Structures are given as structure tokens and as C-alpha cells.
Amino acid sequence: MKRTLTTLLATLACVVSFAQVKVAVHEDAPDQPVIPKEIYGQFAEHLGRCIYDGIWVGKDSPIPNVDGYRKDLVEAIRELKVPVLRWPGGCFADEYHWRDGIGPVSQRPKMINSNWGGTVEDNSFGTHEFLNFCEMLGIEPYISGNVGSGTVEELAKWVEYMTAKGGTMAELRAANGRKEPWKIKYLGVGNESWGCGGNMTPEFYSDQYKRYATYCRNYDGNRLYKVASGASDYDYNWTKVLMNNVRSNISGLSLHYYTVMNWGHKGSATDFDEDEYYDILAKAVEIDEVLKNHEAIMDLYDPRHRIDLLLDEWGTWFDVEPGTNPGHLYQQNSMRDAMVAAMSLDIFNKHTARLKMANIAQMVNVLQAMILTKGSEIVLTPTYHVFRMYNVHHDATAVPVAFSAGEKVSKAGRIFSQLSVSASKSDAVHISLSNPSITETKTVELEFDSLKPSNVTGEILRGKGKGLEAVKSYNDFGGKTNVEPAAFKDFKTAGRTLKVTLPPASVVVLNVK
């Protein structure tokens, strides 16, 4: 009843919008947290064409590759500076048996990927292929372990296989071509255990977590950061039960949040009207409230912040592209997705007292992907460009900002700000700004504590065209590039102020010295 009344009042509320906004940038604020680079993490599941045709084409492929990995993708991912990559799922993780993905490829058993389209998984991309990919690109691997259909011994032996220097598992690893162990930090103990990972109650999963985590050992200097399978969206009871029942041998608790308006009819990724555009943005930024609520529960049980929160699945989820396998979750990626990414990342940058990682779903060819591939072609999506522009925030010190930009009420009754801002500092002060309005240009006056801007550079991301046409813009195969970054110079400096003009539906990142 309360939620219905709130929605009704929001729907009836007036839209307040400020064409001119003043933003106080407190770059001199002391004792600010660092924005962990892991906030900009990625996710790669054995789902559709994320792994096969996406990351992996095989060494004998006519597509240019580096030891089987797509060469163009390797170069694109390197530009992103991806800090951490979660694998092999997702729902797939709780049906994945790691021994099927080691040894000679010709001898690896095949399985039906029953979660995602019923396609045949040949296990040609397994532990070695994933960890070597991460090692090649300097990415921290995040292993998602099988609790739903796997045994305690199976997960324990996988950890030993990857990280131990001696013993039977190390000998097996060496026989498969890798003598030295890998360093594995992040280990997820199950995935979505409330759903596809076993349909468990939080009480039952709590006991399972403790059992599995007990036998996942630290070998030869490798120290595991163990992550419990956490809640979906608004399930605050799951967080409450886990925080009450699991008090030790845990480093992080996961959370999943997808931007979906209607699970029965998710809508098109590229064909939408103005109301649908604003509804999606409003649903995306509701993650701010969701994070606050889960963090408040964690604070009650863990006031010293020993346990981190990890948003290890998030992003938009639309209907698949017409003519594609419904189970492969292949969707296009428009300027609307870029706005969701930018506004979400601005929120994450402000939650780093507890939030230490986020993993967008997914890296290639699935959901809100960074990259799309088809044969020998590759497309960098608008979301890719946001992540590349935002990598200036990686491991930078957070800078508080304060502003009031007015609010808009979406058709579904959600209220959201008419401006999105976050800031950090390292070699410069980095400021990311997003104007979600389809029609309104915003003048933003940034006022610093003491900095007098003398050297300012920036980039802007916008779609081609005007109004709704611009936010529906996307990049496609055949060289159809409609959304790409450009140099941004529409600003003026005066003393401690920097006045910026933000076009409609634009994302801007500034580096200020």
C-alpha cells in the first residue's frame, strides 16, 4: 500500500528542471575513500556467443587471433583496462564441472547448456583458457564455483588445481601444460542460490556456504577472497539472514540488479518511445536506493565493514534481437544504454565505503555488452565507450560533489535527478557528467574548493541526430558507427569555476588541472 501511494504521489508530482545547475566540487575534502577499479569489472558467462565467437575463436580460426583469442577483442579489452572478470557464470556456473574443461580438447566431454538455449557446450574453453586470457591482459580472475549441482570436494579440488604448487592436483595441472600455479583472489561460492543456483532458502544456503567455504583452502601464499551468493534486487531478507548466519570465512556478499521494466515483455533495445527511455533511466538509478538499503542491513551486523558488498551482475535486459536464439540474450546497445551505464557508475563511485566491486553483464554479445561480434567484424558499443572514458576513476580518490538539478518523474512513477555527476582525483580532478534530458541543454557551473582550472581536456559521447533519434542511435556491423566519443571543448574557465554546456542526452568526462 505504501509503495502504491508513493508511486501515485510521484506520478502526480510536478517535474522540476533546472537549465542552469551549480555543482560544488570539494576536491580538498580530507579522508575520502578510493574508488576501487573493481567497480568497473566485467562478466563473461558461457551464454550465447559471449565465449565462443566472442572471446574465443580457436587457434585454427581464419579470424585473426592470439593463441585462439580474437585479436580485435584483445586490443579493445586492453583499452578498457578491465580490472576483474567473473566466469564461468551466472546460472551456467552451477552446472559447470571444471574437470570437463581441462586436458586435450578432443577428449573433453560435451554437455547441453540447458540454461541458455539448449546449445551444445564442447568445453573447449575451460580453466586454462580463461586464466591464461586474464593473465595475458592483466585481469584479476573471479571464479564462480558450482554449489547447486557440484560437491564440496569438487570445488575444493578446483581451488587446489589452480593455486597449489604441489600435490596430485598440481601434477595434473602440469600434465595439462601449466607447471606454475595461478594466483586466484576472488572465489564465488555459488551463484543466485535463491534461483537457478539451487532454489535454496537463505537459511539453507547459509549453512551450505559455511560448509563449502571451509574446504576451499589457501595454498602456497594464495589467499582467497570468498564471496557468498547474495540477494536479487529488493530481497532484503536474504541479506539479513546471511549477515546474521555467516559471521566468518567470508569477504564479500554479492547482489544482482537488472534494469528491467517488465520481465514478461522487456521491450526492444532500440525501438522505444520517450516514456520508455525515461522509465529505463529511472529504473536504473533506483540502484542507489537498493544499495543504501542493503548497506544499512550490513551495517547493523557488521559496523566495522569487514564484509564487502559486490554488485557482480547488473545492466539492462531487453528482448533479444529478432531472429536470434531467445536463450542467447543477444541485444543491441544504444545511446540509452550508455546513459544507463554512466548514471549507474556515477552512483557506484559514491558507495565505495561498502561497495567494492561491480560486474556489468556481459562483456561480449550478451545483454548490455561492451562488444558485439559477427564473423570477422567487431563493434564497440556505446556502453564500451562509457567504460573506456570512465577508466580515469580507477583507483582514484573520490571527490564529493553537491548540487540540485531538479527532478523528473517517469511514467512508471519513479523520480530521478536531471543531472548525474561524480568526481575523483589522481593526476588531475576527473569529473563525469551526464545530461539525461532528450531535449534540454544544461549549463553546469562547477565551483572548486581551491583549484583554479588552467588545463582542461574532455570527451563527449552522443548519438547522431536530435531528440529521440539521438538516444536510439547505435553502432552496427558494416561500419555503421552512430555513437562514438569526440573531443569536448564547450567550457569556459574563470577563477575557481568551470562553466560547462551539456547538450541533450550526453555523457562528458573532464580532466581538470
Q: CA of 339: how far to CAs of 101, 175, 314, 432, 442, in Å?
A: 38, 48, 14, 12, 16
Catalytic residue among 160, 276, 286, 313: 313
Contact criterion met (CB below 8 Å) for 97 and 150: yes
Q: State the Cα–Cα distance between residues 147 and 156, nearest whole angstrom.
A: 11
Residue 407 catalytic? Answer: no
Catalytic residue among 27, 38, 129, 192: 192
Residue 286 catalytic? Answer: no
Cell of residue 215, nine digits: 574446504
Q: State the Cα–Cα distance between residues 475 and 484, nearest whole angstrom.
A: 9
Q: Could you tell me the maximum CA-CA distance found in the chain, to the nearest angstrom?
A: 69
Spatial CA neighbour of 254 closest among 227, 290, 292? 227
Q: State the Cα–Cα distance between residues 512 and 433, nearest whole angstrom.
A: 13
Q: State the Cα–Cα distance between residues 462 and 430, nearest whole angstrom.
A: 19
Q: How many CB atoms lie within 10 A of CB 87?
A: 28
Spatial CA neighbour of 196 closest among 131, 253, 256, 237? 256
Q: Give me the phi and psi of 241, to 5 degrees please.
A: -65, -45
Cell of residue 232, nine digits: 536479487
Cite the active site residues. 192, 313
